[in-house]
Amino acid sequence: MAEPITVSLPDGSAREVPAGTTAGELAAQIGRRLAQAAVAATVDGQRVDLSVPLPSGATVAVVTDGSEAGREVLRHSTAHVMAQAVLDLFPGAKFAIGPPIEDGFYYDFELPGGATFGDEDLERIEARMREIVAEDQPFVREEHDRDQGLELFADQPYKREIIEGVDPSEGAGGGQVSAYRNTERFVDLCRGPHVPSTGRLGHFKLQKVAGAYWRGDERRPMLQRIYGTAWESKAALDAHLERLREAERRNHRRLGTELDLFSMPEELGAGLVVWHPKGAMVRKLMEDFSRTEHERAGYQYAFSPHLARSGLWETSGHLDFYAESMYPPMEMEGARYYAKPMSCPFHVLIYRSNQRSYRELPLRLFEIATVYRNERSGVLNGLLRARGFNQDDSHIFCTPDQAVEEITALVEFVLRMLRAFGFEEFEATLSTRPEEKAVGSDDDWEAATEALRVALERTALSFDVDEGGGAFYGPKIDVHLRDAIGRRWQLSTIQVDFQLPQRFGLEYVGADNARHRPIMVHRALFGSVERFFAILLEHYAGAFPTWLAPVQVRVLSVRDDHAAYATDVATRLGSEGFRVDGAGADEPLGARIRRAKLEKLPWVLVVGDDDVAAGTVGVNGRQGEVERGVSVDAFVARLAAEVTGTRI
């Protein structure tokens, strides 16, 4: 009998076990339920299989299936099962990589003769996967040296490339390669860990087929990627599928049609939008609010045309760096005009139209401008990624020593605005100088990056740093938010620019009577009005807060003989500045109520005999609450309080 060894557990306790005890056996000793939930273990910080014998003195934590780490293991193992199924069903298929991802996994394949998967193949593959699960094949770890590894995957060029590239994350580091074998025929290069056997899996669903470039490189072969999702239980899988259905119910394209907000007719061309009256009302309210707040925050409006001659875009550098994303030029009277993809060059011209003194700075110019970008056809995505959209662009020109204060105020302004629209959770990314090409001196970069960092720290906004993720012209902050169902969206961006002031030779006269170069900050808050509108629409699932609702109140008369009173009430509300409409008694009241609910109106008023007699209304809120006999004055006051209360 071997000497006992001692291991420590996450709760700080120590436990004595016989030498050679595996992580799985340890879990079983601790408890049945833990053993059932165990999929892997963490030993001294390393994620390992349950079958690994524990070293003496190790710190051990069991990885359970419902944890994020445990789900990663389940998903990774499920990806292997899918690979085995595909290799069984498609002889000659090559397999590349198959990692777990958020909520699921994928695996990339190359089929012989350039064949592709269709949706109907997913069912066959899934059926074969269920057989593999039923067979309860073990995952057996194997260690090979590099040459053995190359031999093992002799007819799998992608695996060989991984081994030759020595990629520790794929199980090929330090001259050793690890692989997991399920059967005599199926073995996959992998770092692990995996569940003990395929019988441990089963709550999965294959979702879609997509093309994906090998190693994410456009110049390399396009592989066939299959996405799937996998969970620890049927309940968790069902909950996930329900979340997907909820996201689909909130899809802004669906709601845009149902609520008659906007459309993108084919006749317009890809990525172009027409706003219907109700959507246009929401957009107008968003923009009005934004303009008012900008004015309060010391911005000045600017307007600029949709077109400019090529020379402007040469000076700005857009034709050098951005031409692919611009619409092709139009020729007129021997000049070439381009539709604008951004407003910055125009605002620079406004700055440059006068000699500027330091006393004028910061100069903040604001414009909601329609811009056009030739987005590649495959990236278009409803209002979220359109070719013609409206950017709430502003450009701030300031002296270098104003930068910290200005950017701090800017971050605060951005958060205040986003909160006013009902968002509560924010995160930011600070992107620093790229490795390769970058304009501006090291000192400039250092100072600007520091200004951004200080601003983030002062506003207590949590942020991570994307080293080298900045644009070549300056560092930036991106603000992300989470919506009502937890999705993360990138929205606002604050970018320092050393490039344009230099290209356009911008100057100001300082207190020292010498000429200096201003710093320029680009800032988009909504980013794109269209995109922000879409995010809002999905966030609220179409039920806009009262201050943004295109129709705030609908007045319904019980019978036609209450119509005159209903009109009086509607007129009164209209004169108080509310958006109100009505519906006569052509249909039963229940049907009209239902219609109003489906239109997601915030308030529905019902007026009948009692109300005509007493000068009251019946008030219906959006949640289904009903209150009879409310005086019109009281309702007006309530509505007014609600509308002002939900804004800044």
Partner RNA sequence: GCCGGGUUAGCUCAGCUGGUAGAGCGCUUCUCUUGUAAAGAAGAGGUCGUCGGUUCGAAUCCGACACUCGGCUCCA
Is 252 one of the annotated active-site residues of the chain? no
Is 148 one of the annotated active-site residues of the chain? no
The footprint of RNA on residues 601-640 (CB under 7 A) is 604, 606-612, 618, 620, 624, 626, 628
Interacting residue with RNA among 17, 30, 34, 212 (CB under 7 A): 212
The footprint of RNA on residues 447-506 (CB under 7 A) is 471-473, 497, 499-500
Site for RNA contains 590 (CB under 7 A): yes
Is 476 one of the annotated active-site residues of the chain? yes
Other beta carbons within 10 angstroms of residue 284's beta carbon come to 12
Sheet arrangement for strand 363-372: 300-301, 363-372, 388-398, 519-528, 488-497, 476-482, 425-431, 463-466
Q: How far is the CB of 45 from RNA (least distance, A)?
A: 29
The footprint of RNA on residues 1-60 (CB under 7 A) is none
The footprint of RNA on residues 547-566 (CB under 7 A) is 558-561
- Mind giving me the DSSP string for 135-177? HT-B-EEEEEEHHHHHHHTTT-HHHHHHHHHT-GGGTEETTEE
Site for RNA contains 342 (CB under 7 A): yes
Is 278 one of the annotated active-site residues of the chain? no
Nearest residue (CB) to RNA, 192 versus 440: 440
Q: Distances in Å between the alpha carbon of 289 and those of 77, 421, 549, 553, 647?
A: 51, 10, 13, 20, 9
- The maximal CA–CA distance of the chain, rounded, in angstroms, is 97
C-alpha 146/C-alpha 164 separation (Å) is 8
Is 106 within 8 Å of 75 (Cβ atoms)? no
Interacting residue with RNA among 192, 382, 475, 542 (CB under 7 A): 382
Is 373 one of the annotated active-site residues of the chain? yes
Task: Write down the catalytic residue from 252, 283, 318, 373.
Answer: 373
* Amino acid in the structure at residue 412: E
Q: How far is the CB of 225 from RNA (least distance, A)?
A: 5
C-alpha 259/C-alpha 596 separation (Å) is 11
Interacting residue with RNA among 51, 224, 449, 492 (CB under 7 A): 224
Task: Write down the catalytic residue from 391, 495, 499, 552.
Answer: 391
Is 170 within 8 Å of 177 (Cβ atoms)? no
The residues that bridge with 466 in the sheet, in sequence order, are 431
Q: How far is the CB of 369 from RNA (least distance, A)?
A: 14
The residues that bridge with 522 in the sheet, in sequence order, are 395, 495
Task: Write down the catalytic residue from 393, 444, 483, 611.
Answer: 393
Q: How far is the CB of 317 from RNA (least distance, A)?
A: 6
Is 437 within 8 Å of 472 (Cβ atoms)? yes
The footprint of RNA on residues 286-325 (CB under 7 A) is 317-318, 321-322, 325
Site for RNA contains 208 (CB under 7 A): yes
Site for RNA contains 245 (CB under 7 A): no
Nearest residue (CB) to RNA, 33 versus 638: 638
Task: Write down the catalytic residue from 252, 283, 344, 600.
Answer: 344
The footprint of RNA on residues 110-169 (CB under 7 A) is 116-119
The residues that bridge with 64 in the sheet, in sequence order, are 38
Nearest residue (CB) to RNA, 65 versus 110: 110
Total residues in contact with RNA, by rule CB under 7 A: 75
Is 539 one of the annotated active-site residues of the chain? no
The footprint of RNA on residues 405-434 (CB under 7 A) is none
C-alpha 87/C-alpha 110 separation (Å) is 10
Interacting residue with RNA among 381, 402, 502, 646 (CB under 7 A): 381
SS (H, E, C) 443-467: HHHHHHHHHHHHHHHHCCCCEEEEC
Is 177 within 8 Å of 78 (Cβ atoms)? no
Is 207 one of the annotated active-site residues of the chain? no
Task: Write down the catalytic residue from 80, 159, 160, 395.
Answer: 395
Interacting residue with RNA among 344, 479, 496, 537 (CB under 7 A): 344
For the annotated catalytic residues, the residue numbers are 344, 373, 391, 393, 395, 476, 522
